[in-house]
Amino acid sequence: MSNSNKPKPILNAFSSFGRTILSLFTFGSMNRTSRSVLEEEAITSPSKTIVKNFLRNKLAIVGLSGIVLMVIFVFGGSYLVPFDVLSGEWAHKNLPPSNNMLKFPDELRTQGIEQIVSGRSFSVGLDKSGKIHTWGIDVSEILTVPEEVKAATIVKIAAGDEHVLALSSTGKLFAWGNNSFEQGSVPMSISNILMIENVVDMGGGDIFSYIITDKGRLYVWGGTLSNGLDIVPTRLQGNLVSAGASTVSMLLLKDDQSIDYHGARGTQISEIPAYLLNGSVKLQKVEASIYTGIALDTNGFIHQWGFSGNGMRNIPEKVSFNDPNRISFVDIQAGRRHFVALGSDGNVYAWGDNEFGQLKVPASLQQGKTVAIYTDFFQNYAVLEDGELVSWGIKGFILGSDENGKDMFTRLIHGGRITMTVGAVAVLISTFLGVLIGLIAGFYGKWVDNLLMRFAEIVSSFPFLPLAITLSAFLTGQLGENQRILMIMVILGIISWPGLARLVRGQILAEREKEFVLAARALGIKSKIVIIRHILPNVINLIIVSMTLSYAGSLLTEAGLSFLGFGVKPPSPSWGNMLTGAQRPEVIQFYWWRWILPALAVLFTALSVNLVGDGLREAMDPRANEK
């Protein structure tokens, strides 16, 4: 070898080192050779190929996005949105989607506020000029003011649950709204009375209306059969000044400034303290919630009685009757399950139940500038010194409410959590059983295979719906709600595994004859290790696809069972039992949100899962990899 060739190894080493350093900054792109599609596929791992094939499938991506959205909506929402199965207010039943219950018209504020009254889903305002304004959710055409009312000058208004009363400057009484028991109209007998007597107070309750005249007489009409409100005792007539109406009863303020009760007997609100009945304390106003009464005496102090749960009698410490330095009040108002009071300091105080935010008094009402308050049902309004109108309480239900007054949005979230969880657990059970039995049958074959496959055929022969319905009827009253849900999961899982077991068995029959399996068995590796480490990974793709498609089926099956009344039972929600109301024609016709929304949730979730399953099946198909 000549001397001229000796430096070449050293030069080659430096050259190689230089290329290595250069590649750190060029990311290996200088000497990269272009490859054909076939060459690129040849050096790509199977998992990467599957991912690429899946990402090329636009429908699969849409399905995956849908699943992610539903998981976030259902499981994320369950942590963010609290839910009580016993929550709900019957007064809010069957309300359509809306968020405008507190959205008052600006014209009312600019014209000056004289009075505001509220019903179960609406509010009515009277301005200084005698004009009526309405807002909220329209039930029984309550927001459509009659033309004769528009033409009159109104001086006083009142509202029941679904009807409105209005008194004109000439003493004429108008009524409109729900008239199922004639509470939304003025009977001829009342019109005749008003020809010789004048109205000094009026109001409404649940399906009834009342007036008190200047002769101290009370007249009630509407749905009074169950409470006898239309039959006023003689001892009360001629002595009345004003009243506060509850759902089935009334608290009456008499001209001697004492209080009395009229309506259904045996209620908590009828248990009025003796010192208020005998006139020992002089009263100026009385109001009533459903079960609790409240009165304001002439010294501006508050008195309460009746139901004490949910904080209904937890008067704020600053205004407590036992506090010698307590402030006095100028007005009190009663909602369905809460009270609001205006203090002499110009601040607003609220206590009671807070399910719909009735106690979240805005900060602007705590600055000593409030001059008037108006409260009924779950809506609250207050007027400031500058004429500004402030509202708080329930705004509505963004997706409507059901027949029990429960929020559909909340029930969709927590009902979806139950439905999706039931489907997922059922699929896990069926997958475990199907894979286990399929692996054993396919690997060992012979009599083991025959025995297991015949057993699978026996399980497949059981009709699922009749079995589940029979068990549900048999165990009704013996199982709690959680146990019932667990039973549904187990039944779904136990009966659904034979299909997957057959698929796995078929794949194992082909895999067990391949060289790598024969080699592993020849080396003396235990059968359990061969099955788990060598055969199972080769059928995992099939299992994943089967799980995905089975999950959609389990969702639909649970929804169908609950729809029929044999799955998850109310008050626990599921998408299936939320659809139960669709069996009634009036629900389909008038309350579309009660069946369309859960139906869309089931459809969207099942469709998304199926799209992902189809996408995975195509991505894992070797023939798709060759395209």
Q: What is the pLDDT of residues 15-44, one digit of tens each?
A: 665 665 555 444 444 455 555 555 555 556
What's the pTM?
A: 0.81
Contact between 120 and 139 under an 8 Å Cβ cutoff? The reply is yes
Share of the chain above pLDDT 90, in %: 50
d(CA 525, CA 443): 14
Residue 15 lies in a domain: no
- pLDDT tens for 447-479 read 888 999 999 888 888 877 777 777 666 765 666
How many structural domains is the chain composed of? 2
* CATH number of the domain where residue 79 is located: 1.10.3720.10
Residue 256 lies in a domain: no
Q: What is the mean pLDDT of residues 500-525?
A: 79
Are 495 and 514 in the same domain? yes
Give 50 or 153, the one with higher predicted confidence: 153
- Position 133 confidence tier, pLDDT thresholds 50, 70, 90: very high
pLDDT over threshold 50, residue 1 = no
Are 74 and 145 in the same domain? no
Give 429 or 568, the one with higher predicted confidence: 429
pLDDT for 354 equals: 93
Residue 555 CB neighbour total at 10 angstroms: 26
pLDDT for 2 equals: 47
* CATH number of the domain where residue 118 is located: 2.40.10
Q: What is the mean pLDDT of residues 390-415?
A: 93
pLDDT for 396 equals: 93
Residue 557 lies in a domain: yes
The SS3 assignment for 54 reads helix
pLDDT for 482 equals: 74
- pLDDT tens for 555-567 read 888 888 777 777 7
Kindly report each contact of residues 562-571 with a partner whose C-beta sits within 8 Å and lies 24 or more positions away, as own/partner: 562/419, 564/465, 564/469, 566/468, 566/469, 566/472, 566/473, 567/468, 567/472, 567/488, 568/418, 568/419, 568/422, 568/481, 568/484, 568/485, 568/488, 569/481, 569/484, 571/85, 571/86, 571/404, 571/406
Q: What is the mean pLDDT of residues 151-164?
A: 95
pLDDT for 24 equals: 45
Report the helix count and the strand count for the chain, using DSSP H and E.
Answer: 21, 21
Among 94-98, 356-360, 381-385, 579-583, the range scoring the smallest mean pLDDT is 579-583
pLDDT for 29 equals: 47
Are 517 and 583 in the same domain? yes
Give 533 or 164, the one with higher predicted confidence: 164
Are 167 and 78 in the same domain? no
Residue 440 lies in a domain: yes
pLDDT over threshold 80, residue 534 = no
**Domain range enclosing 589:** 51-89+407-625
pLDDT over threshold 60, residue 626 = no
Contact between 585 and 514 under an 8 Å Cβ cutoff? The reply is no
Secondary structure (DSSP) of 91-127: GGTTPPS-S-TT---HHHHHH-EEEEEE-SSEEEEEE
- pLDDT tens for 173-214 read 999 999 999 999 999 999 999 999 999 999 999 999 999 999
From the number of C-beta atoms within 10 Å of its C-beta (0-12, 13-18, 19+), residue 391 rates as middle
- pLDDT tens for 303-342 read 999 999 889 998 876 665 566 677 889 999 999 999 999 9
Residue 358 CB neighbour total at 10 angstroms: 25
Residue 578 lies in a domain: yes
Q: What is the mean pLDDT of residues 429-443?
A: 89
Are 514 and 594 in the same domain? yes
Q: Bridge-partner residues for 244, per DSSP?
A: 251
Give 332 or 572, the one with higher predicted confidence: 332
- Give the phi and the psi of residue 410 in degrees, each rounded to 5: -65, -40
- pLDDT tens for 370-394 read 999 999 999 999 999 999 999 999 9
Among 10-19, 243-252, 271-280, the range scoring the smallest mean pLDDT is 10-19
- Position 517 confidence tier, pLDDT thresholds 50, 70, 90: confident
Residue 165 lies in a domain: yes
Domain limit, last residue, from 126, 159, 178: 178
pLDDT for 56 equals: 85
- pLDDT tens for 64-93 read 999 999 999 999 998 898 888 888 888 899
pLDDT for 42 equals: 54
H/E element holding 439?
helix 408-444
Domain limit, last residue, from 178, 205, 220: 178
pLDDT over threshold 50, residue 170 = yes
Contact between 169 and 130 under an 8 Å Cβ cutoff? The reply is yes
Are 585 and 602 in the same domain? yes
Q: What is the mean pLDDT of residues 138-150?
A: 92
- pLDDT tens for 259-301 read 999 998 888 999 999 999 998 999 999 999 999 999 999 999 8
d(CA 308, CA 305): 8
Q: Specify the pairing of strand 132-136 against strand 154-159.
A: unpaired
Of 321, 312, 386, 306, the closest CA to residue 352 belongs to 312
pLDDT for 188 equals: 95
Domain limit, last residue, from 178, 197, 223: 178
pLDDT over threshold 80, residue 104 = yes
Are 514 and 447 in the same domain? yes
pLDDT over threshold 90, residue 168 = yes
Are 75 and 159 in the same domain? no
What does pLDDT average to over the chain?
Answer: 86
What dihedral angle (degrees, nearest 10) is formed by the CA atoms of 104, 109, 113, 117?
Answer: 0
Contact between 178 and 140 under an 8 Å Cβ cutoff? The reply is yes
Residue 105 lies in a domain: yes
pLDDT for 540 equals: 80
- DSSP category for residue 74: I
Enter the tokens of residue 468.
């589940």
Are 64 and 167 in the same domain? no
pLDDT over threshold 70, residue 576 = yes
Residue 524 CB neighbour total at 10 angstroms: 6
